Amino acid sequence: MPVREVVLSAPGWPPGLAGRRVAVVNWRDPWHRSAGGAEAYAWEIGRRLAEQGAEVTFVTARDEGQTRADRVDGIDIVRIGGVFTVYPRVLAWLARRRFDAVIDCQNGIPFFTPWVVPRRVPVVCVMHHVHDAQFGVHFPGWMARAGRFLEGPVARHVYRNRVCAAVSPSTVAAMRDRLGWTGPIHVVPNGGDPPVPAPAPPSEQPSLVCVGRLVAHKRVERIIEAAAALRAEWPGLVLHIVGRGPEEDRLRRTAADLGDTVRFHGFVGAHEKARLVASSWLHLSASQGEGWGLSVLEAAALGVPTVAYDVDGLRDAVRDGRTGRLVRHGESLETVAGAMLKDVAARRAEIAAECRAWSSRFGWDESTRRMARLLTLTDVGDGEAYVVRYRTAATERAVVVECTTPERIRAAGLGEILEIRAAGPQEVLLGEPC
């Protein structure tokens, strides 16, 4: 295929990674007190690029108590600036150095690295989800309007000739519809660790778990309210809340009258988090929107289904009716969660097997291979994603190709073209025809 088009299912690593200097710029690192899924994504991608021989530098903000420089997993870490000052300071730092490629992570707004790196240097803008509505939740009106302006008109102009990597098909749709994004967008999904034996059996009593940062747009109070409503039908029900954040005190006050029904665990280590999730019947998310929902995949790997709202990202991560349920317009979280609890009680083993099978379709190695192919592009194409079925003298094959057109596919010399059709969201997400 022409270099500007990306075959998602292409095997192996692209050549030329060894010795390639790659800057990963992200708002936080995984050890920041407010780190979440976006930090896990940037780090896991960077770590695997380093394993392939790339010279990776992770440039980020400096949290209280953190050192200015560090080296972990073969990655050099540079910490400069705070919540807002990190943006201009990273640009100034980057302008004085030479890199062969840049991964520019947009957490609300990007770093606008095309302003300071040469045009010949590939820049991949990573978009987790569109933040337009969330700016109004976290900031005063004037700042929210400034955030939307930077996220929308300014960013789409700066990156119009650069590659963008979205973590899910619904993020692609939101970028097109809500940001008016016109440049090429490829899907590079979150990965996941291979399914492992659950560190704890499901509890005998019905239990719920919510994992994530305790911030306003996660709407954890809705999960507390759902747990309170479900107690009448499910005596002894317990809700475990795993995570920390600025909303914790308010949420504790909300749950004060529920006694031991709601248990706050704060930040816990990986093993303890896995134990709490694996012992629960159901994982809940009330977020108003995600890029993907890494906690959904982590729960599925332990055989635990998720109930979440039918919003960006979460509608991709949850296979409705198979690995959980989506709360649609007009439905309540407690009603859908109650129905899912009954499903788990009746067919726990079947649902757990579905969850594990779904989570096994995603891996950080494959996600990093997709990102690596984008970092080596020398020509940026545009277009849609297609499933192409073709035949050569030796074999018949079907692949998913992004950012192309039927005309370019026919001109690529693949062999006898048997079928060209638009790829569905799940096919783009998985990188293979379904």
Give residue 4's pLDDT: 42
Looking up tokens 């972990």 gives 72
pLDDT by position in tens, the chain (length 434): 333 455 655 667 888 899 999 999 999 999 998 888 899 999 999 999 999 999 999 999 999 999 999 999 999 999 999 988 999 999 999 999 999 999 999 988 899 999 999 999 999 999 998 877 777 667 788 888 888 888 889 999 999 889 899 999 999 999 999 999 988 899 999 987 766 677 888 899 999 999 998 999 899 999 999 999 999 999 999 999 999 999 999 999 999 999 999 999 999 988 999 999 999 999 999 998 888 888 999 999 999 999 999 998 899 999 999 999 999 999 999 999 999 999 999 999 999 999 999 999 999 999 999 999 899 875 666 778 899 999 988 889 888 888 888 988 888 888 899 999 999 888 888 888 88
Angle between helices 220-230 and 333-359 (to 10 degrees): 110
The closest alpha carbon to 316, from 169, 217, 210, 422, belongs to 169
Give residue 7's pLDDT: 61
User: How far separated are the first and last CA of the chain, in Å rounded?
Assistant: 21
- In the beta sheet, which residues pair with residue 308? 285, 326
Cβ 126 vs Cβ 42: under 8 Å: yes
Architecture, CATH, for domain 6-187: 3-Layer(aba) Sandwich (3.40)
Q: Count Cβ neighbours within 10 Å for each residue of 88-127 and write b for 16 or more, e otherwise.
A: ebbbebbeeeebbbbbbbbbbbbbbbbebbeeebbbbbbb
In Å, how far are 87, 164, 283, 356, 401 from 382, measured between CA atoms?
29, 11, 38, 35, 11
Q: Taking the domains of the chain in order of start, what are their residue ranges?
A: 6-187, 207-359, 383-430
Pairing, β 21-25 against β 55-60: parallel
Domain 207-359, CATH number (from 3.40.50.720, 3.40.50.2000, 3.40.50.300, 3.40.640.10)? 3.40.50.2000
Contacts with 287 (C-beta within 8 Å, 6 or more apart), sequence order:
212, 217, 218, 219, 293, 308, 309, 311, 314
The closest alpha carbon to 117, from 138, 144, 129, 99, belongs to 99
Give residue 2's pLDDT: 36
Asked if 6-187 and 207-359 have one fold, the answer is: yes
Distance (Å, rounded) from C-alpha 89 to C-alpha 99? 17
The closest alpha carbon to 376, from 48, 25, 22, 76, belongs to 22
